[in-house]
Structure 1
Amino acid sequence: MTSERRRAPGEPPVKQASLFDEAGAVVVASPAEDVSAASAHDADGEARAYAVDPAHNVVLEASAGTGKTSVLVSRYVNLLKAGVDPANILAITFTRKAAAEMRERILGELRTAAERSAFDKARWAELRDRLGEIAISTIDAFCLSLLREFPLEADVDPGFDLADDTDVPRLMRSALDRTLRTLVALARTDADVELVLAQLGIARTRQGLAALLSRRLVAVEALDRFVDRGPRELTAAGVCRQAAYALREAIVPAGGSLASFLADGPAGHPRYELFLREVEALNRVEDSPEAALRGTIERVAAHFLTKEGTARKAGAIPPYAAEHYPPGAAARRHRDALFETAPRVEEAMFVFHRDLNVVLARGIRRMFAVARTQYRQALEERSVLDFSDVLERALGLLRRMDEFSQSRFRLESRYQHVLVDEFQDTSRAQWELVSLLIQAWGEGQGVAASPSIFIVGDRKQSIYRFRDAEVAVLQQASRYIDGLRPGSRARRSIARSFRAVPELQHFVNDLFAEVSQPGRRADDFTYEERDKFPVEAAAAAMDEGPALGVAVADSPEACAAAVADEIARLLQETTVRDKSTGVRRQARPGDIGILFRSRSSHREFERELGARGIPTYVYKGLGFFDADEIKDLTALLRFLADPSSSLRAAAFLRSRIVRLSDTALALLSPDLSAALLSDADPPGLDALDPEDRAVLLQVRGHLPVWLERIDRVTPAELLDQILSDAAYPFELGGSRRRQAWENVKKMRGLVRRIQNRGYATVRRIAAHLLSLSAGDESNAVIEALDAVNLMTVHASKGLEFPVVFVVNL
């Protein structure tokens, strides 16, 4: 286990200049002018100057901590300074939080400018009453606004709603129910669909189709691309026959006979007898059903291949031992022959799986088409769109804009300057949307006289492939934007960090240079000379103590304890530079971030920090349904949904709502439901210790009232009553008290929202919460909480902490 920490920077590097000089004029009016005194003549400074000038189209690569947001804000303000109407500027980022922060920075810069210059004061007076038009939008919000404005052109109901996170799972389940009924019937006449259902089964097919629906904007193209690469005449039966013939030839040893090879085998083991029957079945290919032949091929190949599907090369052949072989040298001869033939078997199986996957993909494509139709119908029946649908419909709208000349004119005359932040997180569909907006600029048909586009991103920070982001889109966009103005070169890069200390920059340069993969696929990670932080130019003073550290332990628990000890030491001994004031102060828990690779590994760290009295906050993507208080409420709702279940009764009794001991559960078992609900005293009651007995009698007294009210009040009201009767808030103690109570409030709000969307019964709410528990529901957000932040690497995107631990590497 390894942990790394980044300490707060020492003296800050050379301060960036204000957007405006003392006279109120824009500091950067052309690439030749300075951005700051330190960057007057270097390439980094020239790139910044070029990027903030609205006269240029720009594709800016900006490494972490280089001030890319400042560059974007500068460019936006320069547009306003130049007299551009804010309604003609489209600025897009990828989170609502980032959009709000960027807007505040723009307004702050405008106010600062107005204080320094009479000219800017006049411009500020013009804009002050139109601040609502200074809008920074997310890509989803922008697409939604397009559909709201042009519903008929986009072929959507003008009164459509956006499906929320309670609608989408319900609608998808309904669509998949109908889809699977259709597919089961279709499998009787479609061999490809029948193969998929036979290979995956109903449950896995359902999971796969749900995953494809959630990524349907890329799934269709990916399936088409895969299927089109394969031979169209392939069938499952034909693939199996060809594989059986190839396998039958592959297992014959060179210079030997199949009969001798088999005779030397471990005939003393029953499993080998089954293997011999399977080999014999390879001689009856024409008479074997396709499904049976497919199983035969896999079982014969398993004798020659490892569990990973690679050829056996040496050692024993499990599960056989020496006593299973004939006496003498038979075992050695059998193994030598097997190791000689195994590579040919591996090759035959590779071809078999490759061709069979083409047939499977063809069937999946057909099944996915049915699922898409059913899901689209489910959305249309309720006049709602989900986020993927919003983007898909917006794309369709812009693709067809030539059919609607008046609407196209409105769009082109409105959006004359486009700025896109965090471009490395952009999918191909999102980039196509932007490119369609600016397409007319390159065709010479646009309304604007001097339109411009600015995109900024860092391909090294592209970590959202699972959300369809493609780092290669950045290169594609650069070539496209260059083509808008022939002869220009839009691409620029900045690498000087204003955030990290020199040691950390050196470490990143060395590490990333080692893992760089130049010359491979376009989306592989590369770290070139232009990407390296120019550490020699850093003017930061050294912080006290080392800037990097490593903690090694033998188990997750020991690693968590070591990290917690180090955090406790830092809080006692270390100072950091305050981000807002620049003054050094004692480190606080909120200055520290712990980053995880996955959602499943934070509990040990939360426990160890809590044991040391250090507060923690589990950030989005980690732990809401894993939190103890949410497990308590879930156990309560699931029990109320089915009081006859002893399994659910056990979870309820062990929750902190009741807090019965394990010893008491054992004495009351196995019929725990009856122990709660029967009129007679449950067996084992007298054997309970006094505290367990008192608790059980108390909850038995409350249960009839709670169960009677299930059909009389809403689930949210019932939940509130039970928490009050059980005095549950008193259970939420310790360093997590505030976070735990906020999570309880969030759960109560979630129940209310679900019941308001039509899930009116406790049983349906409990089932829906169970389905949500597999997702990435975040803990309730607590503003200004001074606590150590626990989060995944993905969730940390865009955040800054003076001290960082990267754990469980």
Structure 2
Amino acid sequence: MDLSALNSAQQQATCAPEGAHRVIAGAGTGKTRTLVHRVAWLIDQGVPPSGIVLLTFTRRAAREMLQRASRQVGARAHGVRGGTFHSFAHRTLRRHAERVGRTPQFTVLDRGDAEEMVGIVRSRLGLGGRGRRRFPKSRTLLSMFSSATNTGRSLEAVVTAHHPRFRRDIHDIEAIREGYTALKARQDAVDFDDLLVFLAQLLAKDKLARADIAGACHHVLVDEYQDVNKLQARIACLLSVVHGNLMVVGDEAQSIYAFRGASVDNILDFDQIFPAASTTILTENYRSTAPVLKLANGVLESFRTGIDKALESRVGEGPTPLLVAVEDADRQADYVVERVLSLREEGVSLTAQAVLARSGFQLHAIELALSRANIPYQKFGGLRLTEAAHVKDVLALLRVAVNPRDSLAWLRVLPWCENVGRTTAQRVADARATGDQSPLSSMTRRRAPELDVIESLVGELRGMVRDPTAALATAIDGMRPFLVRNYDDPDERMRELESLLALSERFEDVPRLVSELALDPPRRSEATRTEDDALLTLSTIHSAKGLEWRSVVVVGLGDGAFPSGFALEDPTAIEEERRLLYVAITRAKRHLALIQPRFLTRRGGPVFSPGCQLLDEIPDLWSRVEAGWPGQSAEDDVVEPVGVSPEVEDRLARLADYFGD
């Protein structure tokens, strides 16, 4: 078998002997190529293809790897068992269903089915109905159950950490979980988490099942191991328990999915579980230029935990990454438009460019700027500006203030109130559409005092039509109690609503704000297409992982935004923010710009950002980046970078020596 296309580290991983192996594959270092050759090499060495198990996070990834392996060893690669953890568990459980209390014909519940079943149990137990204080909805309950299952924590620990407002309901929540488990058993059903739980149970506790399942797994290979949760890691280890051959491939520096239950400890602690395991580190990067990797390596040096490595470019030199300071979100959006158009003129197509953000809401102002500049784009991660339910809610409130006959907006607002159902809301909305201005509370048969609150709020908003920022702030404040009651994550939704305040300042009045944000939002389908149908990519960093572009702009760097304000006092969380920055930087092949606004959008207006901890921690930052706004003329206002230059650092050090810290 020809391995000449592989570098020495890739060859070492490909030809590793039997046993446990950890492959640390830095960004852009040919991880997939290495896995493909490992599969082909094992087959070439005489390992039965059916004895090779390749576990990935998507079926597409497994299919593409096996297709590439077949080019090396022919049709023999088709016998390899590849797929996701869930698909492998599903196929296995069909053969062993009776051992876990199911029949071979068991039903697999999708997310919607599972939520509906949780709702049935919730209703049967009399929880969450009218007249009772706020109780989590079915979707939130299912999320709690799943988090506890996949991370190995107790349900109480999950609720305390992520849903503290429901801590006093823990006994009722546990009762629903027990009822849900029992109902699934009675109906011969399993949900996605059960597939993994039952597989782990068979492997750990059933000797006969373990001999059959793990005995058939001569070599187990796991892709993206830094993203597995505790349950998945346990399954991977258990599958290899008979033959002892397990290879995990991943990059601890790209572990960014803790919110999904992933734990970086799984890949870091691999040698604790397997003391004799070997570790191969891939560092030769085939994606990015040397200057981009110099900055990425600086981020790696700022890590508090991890495996020492430095990426080496096999691409060559290129432009130095830019660190651009701007005044606020509007200037940031202006810079993005200028940068995108400038690079396009230089021959970098829109398809080869991306704008990445820590959170989807940070892209809102950029969406509007791109739409005005007639730049077509596609967005991944987060919702479009007006697609989120709570954003639609607040815009509906403004719409009825501007146009009392807007029945669709009334139909969205009225059901917020207690004792106002869909039928009543429809009747009142139809009456308002005909011009009936009778008090809202007089239009219902049942007493609904909250209608008076809505009436008063709408009246207040009518007096603010010339001040869109004040009107939006008032509408957000007014809907706060309804938000708390109607959504399980009100704080997060409130923060997103408050991000709209900065956008409101660019509109002359409320009607214009409403018309642009509600009636004619930027949409991909309505974007003006270029002759080659190219689209700029807007994405959260989480959604961009595994992708690459010739040019990348990373926006919103500043304490409280990126890194997240919730991470600043949490060592574990801030470490994941460092990894998130590393992932963002290593998406760039040649052109890279980081934007650091002086002012971040906060409640009540812009708030001065003192800096960015993630950037401040990079050793010798200014040897890795340069400041600038390409295309800026001498007459323009020069915006100096917020980061600290060597000269300023020297002055600060001398002052600290004299005055003390």
1:496 aligns with 2:284: yes
Aligned equivalent of 1:588, options 349, 359, 365: 349
Distance 1:673 1:67 in 2: 62
Corresponding residue of 2:252: 459
1:551 aligns with 2:497: no
1:673 aligns with 2:449: no
Cα pair distance change 1:35/1:671, threshold 3 Å: closer
Alignment check: 8 A CA contact 2:405 2:433 kept = no
Secondary structure of the equivalent of 1:562? helix
Superposed, which structure 2 residues align to 1:571-720 within 5 Å? 571-573=344-346, 586-623=347-384, 626=387, 649-650=408-409, 673-674=430-431
Aligned equivalent of 1:540, options 307, 312, 315: 315
Provide the aligned length of Structure 1 versus Structure 2. Answer: 449
Distance 2:111 2:119 in 1: 13
Deviations 1:294-347 (A, max 9, x none): xxxxxxxxxxxxxxxxxxxxxxxxxxxxxxxxxxxxxxxxxxxxxxxxxxxxxx
TM-score, L = length of structure 1: 0.50
Cα pair distance change 1:55/1:787, threshold 3 Å: same
Structure (1/2) with the larger strand percentage: 2
Alignment check: 8 A CA contact 2:53 2:80 kept = no
The residue type equivalent to 2:377 in the other structure is: T
TM-score, L = length of structure 2: 0.60
1:736 aligns with 2:524: yes
Cα pair distance change 1:69/1:225, threshold 3 Å: same
Distance 2:55 2:178 in 1: 31
Superposed, which structure 2 residues align to 1:84-483 within 5 Å? 84-110=47-73, 124=74, 127=75, 132-179=78-125, 181=127, 201-203=133-135, 209-218=141-150, 221-222=153-154, 366-402=171-207, 405=208, 407-441=209-243, 452-482=245-275
The residue type equivalent to 1:417 in the other structure is: H
1:531 aligns with 2:319: no
Aligned equivalent of 1:74, options 8, 32, 37: 37
Cα pair distance change 1:624/1:26, threshold 3 Å: farther
Deviation at 1:565, TM superposition (A): 1.4
Query: Structure 2: which 5+ runs fail to align?
Result: 414-426, 437-518, 558-661
Larger gyration radius, structure 1 or structure 2? 1
Distance 2:405 2:93 in 1: 51
Distance 2:69 2:541 in 1: 28
Deviation at 1:56, TM superposition (A): 3.7
Secondary structure of the equivalent of 2:118? helix
Alignment check: 8 A CA contact 1:88 1:414 kept = yes
Corresponding residue of 1:509: 297
Deviations 1:763-805 (A, max 9, x none): xxxxxxxxxxxxxxxxxxxxx9631111111111111111111
Distance 2:105 2:140 in 1: 32
Corresponding residue of 1:791: 539
Deviations 1:689-744 (A, max 9, x none): xxxxxxxxxxxxxxxxxxxxxxxxxxxxxxxxxxxxxxxxxx99988326899xxx
Corresponding residue of 1:284: none
The residue type equivalent to 1:791 in the other structure is: S
Deviation at 1:382, TM superposition (A): 4.3
Deviations 1:335-378 (A, max 9, x none): xxxxxxxxxxxxxxxxxx99xx99x97x6654443121122234
Corresponding residue of 1:266: none
Query: Structure 1: which 5+ runs fail to align?
Result: 1-24, 28-33, 40-44, 111-123, 185-196, 228-352, 443-451, 483-487, 518-525, 574-585, 640-644, 655-669, 680-730, 742-783
Corresponding residue of 2:566: none
Distance 2:309 2:185 in 1: 47
The two structures, once aligned, show a CA RMSD in angstroms of 4.2
Cα pair distance change 1:462/1:786, threshold 3 Å: same
With 85-94 and 381-390 compared, the bigger mean Cα shift is at 381-390
Cα pair distance change 1:91/1:548, threshold 3 Å: same
Deviation at 1:391, TM superposition (A): 1.3
Corresponding residue of 1:569: 342
Cα pair distance change 1:105/1:509, threshold 3 Å: same
The residue type equivalent to 1:214 in the other structure is: S
The residue type equivalent to 1:788 in the other structure is: L
Distance 1:463 1:566 in 2: 28
Deviations 1:618-673 (A, max 9, x none): 12444397289x979x99xxx9xxxxx9775237899xxxxxxxxxxxxxxx9752
Cα pair distance change 1:364/1:675, threshold 3 Å: closer
Distance 1:572 1:541 in 2: 23
Corresponding residue of 2:615: none
Deviations 1:468-515 (A, max 9, x none): 111111133333234xxxxx442221222111111111112223323x
Distance 1:381 1:476 in 2: 39
Secondary structure of the equivalent of 1:439? coil
1:55 aligns with 2:17: yes
The residue type equivalent to 2:317 in the other structure is: M
Deviation at 1:208, TM superposition (A): 6.6
The residue type equivalent to 1:540 in the other structure is: V
Identity within the alignment, %: 24
Distance 1:106 1:460 in 2: 27
Alignment check: 8 A CA contact 1:593 1:790 kept = yes
Distance 2:156 2:410 in 1: 47
Cα pair distance change 1:219/1:455, threshold 3 Å: closer
Corresponding residue of 1:314: none
Deviation at 1:210, TM superposition (A): 4.7
Deviation at 1:54, TM superposition (A): 4.7
Deviations 1:59-116 (A, max 9, x none): 1111111111111111001012123222111001112332233233223344xxxxxx
Secondary structure of the equivalent of 1:595? strand
